[in-house]
Amino acid sequence: AQTIHQWPVAEIKAVGSPLSLGCTIKGKSSPNLYWYWQATGGTLQQLFYSITVGQVESVVQLNLSASRPKDDQFILSTEKLLLSHSGFYLCAWSTDWGYAEQFFGPGTRLTVL
Amino acid sequence: SQLAEENSWALSVHEGESVTVNCSYKTSITALQWYRQKSGKGPAQLILIRSNEREKRNGRLRATLDTSSQSSSLSITATRCEDTAVYFCATDAGSNAKLTFGKGTKLSVKS
């Protein structure tokens, strides 16, 4: 069975500080990977997707970057946090392109003060 | 503009009642998915309905798709307290894996 793990569970950071969030998928080789951001009470907005190691596509610009250093790992980061970065960050994976079901991780709650 | 959106912000029903969440979208799609997100958790897919399908069932859940009116509905029968969650519809146009989620409908099921 496939499992998806996100770390940390929650972060409280100061404006202007750096950030790194991680996601690991076990039990599935070469998954498509995705990062989403969700404001409190809001919808999910896709930020990045990756179909292979080393390749990441940006969907929206939010002063964030993403990398896929290993087949099963997806990293979201920024060098300088903004207040607007607060929210719930979700990693997801799918087996196929396009309309395939996406499987979401438990998420990381980020509070920027 | 939103490519997909649910038509109600919040719904409240009593256990055992049926409820329907509606969704409208603005572009042609390959498929439409319904997700459920419980408080503090990641979303989980409930049903995927392709553009050439009109209805799909999954236990107490029934989704319909009307491509002519660009709308979909998710019906839940015999609701339970554990159905309390936010329900999202999500669409994609089949390219670059971009899934667009609606704003969500918050469903409360009361005992």
> With 60 as the cut, is the pLDDT of residue B62 above it?
yes
- The stretches of A5-73 forming alpha helices (DSSP H) are none
- Helix (DSSP H) and strand (DSSP E) numbers for chain A: 0, 11
> Regarding the domain with residue range A3-112, which homologous superfamily does it belong to in the CATH classification?
Immunoglobulins (2.60.40.10)
- Selected for mutation to probe chain A from B99, B103, B105, B106 (highest A CB count within 10 Å) is B99
Q: What pLDDT, on a 0 to 100 scale, did the predictor assign at position A101?
A: 87
Query: What token pair was written down for B107?
Result: 């469903």
Given pLDDT bands bounded at 50, 70 and 90, which one contains residue B2?
very low
Residue B66 token pair = 């009307």
**pLDDT at site B29:** 87
The boundaries of the domain holding residue B36 are 4-110
Name the pLDDT band for B28 (thresholds 50, 70, 90). confident
For the cut 80, the answer to whether the pLDDT of residue B93 exceeds it is no
Between chain A and chain B, the number of residue pairs with CB atoms below 8 A apart is 58
Q: How many domains, in total, are found in chain B?
A: 1
In which band, very low, low, confident or very high, does the pLDDT at B1 lie, cut at 50, 70 and 90?
very low
Q: How far is CA B37 from the centre of its chain?
A: 11
Q: What is the pLDDT of residues A35-89, one digit of tens each?
A: 999 999 899 999 999 999 999 998 887 899 999 999 999 999 999 999 999 999 9
Among the listed residues A31, A17, A8, A2, the one whose alpha carbon sits nearest the alpha carbon of residue A88: A8
What is the percent of chain B with per-residue pLDDT over 90, rounded to a whole number?
78
Which tokens in the block code for residue B92? Answer: 């994609």
The residues of A whose Cβ lies within 8 A of any Cβ of B are 32, 34, 42-46, 49, 51, 57, 59, 90, 92, 94, 97-99, 101-107, 109
- Over residues B82-93, mean pLDDT: 92
Q: Write down the mean pLDDT value for chain A.
A: 94
pLDDT for position B97: 63
DSSP-derived letter for residue B27 is S
Please, which residues 65-104 of chain B have a Cβ atom closer than 8 Å to chain A?
88, 90, 92, 94-104
Q: Give the residues across from B36 on adjacent strands.
A: B44, B87
> Residue B84 sits in a domain of what CATH number?
2.60.40.10
Q: Is the pLDDT of residue B10 over 60?
A: yes
Does pLDDT of B94 surpass 70? no
Provide the pLDDT for residue A97.
63
Mean pLDDT of B41-63: 96
Spell out the domain ranges in chain A.
3-112
Among A32, A43, A105, the residue with its CB nearest the CB of B42 is: A105
Kindly list the residues from chain B whose CB atom is less than 8 angstroms away from the CB atom of residue A51.
97
Interchain CB distance below 8 Å, B48 and A43 = no
Tell me how far CA of residue A27 lies from CA of A4, A32, A39, A106, in angstroms: 9, 13, 30, 17
DSSP secondary structure letter of residue B101: E
Q: What is the pLDDT of residue B103?
A: 92
Instruction: Tell me the pLDDT tens digit for each residue of A82-98.
Output: 999 999 999 999 987 66
Q: Which residues of A73-85 are buried (b: 16+ CB within 10 A; e: fewer)?
A: ebbbebeebeeeb
Q: How far apart are CA B96 and CA B56, in angstroms?
A: 25
Structure confidence at residue B92 as a pLDDT band (50, 70, 90): confident
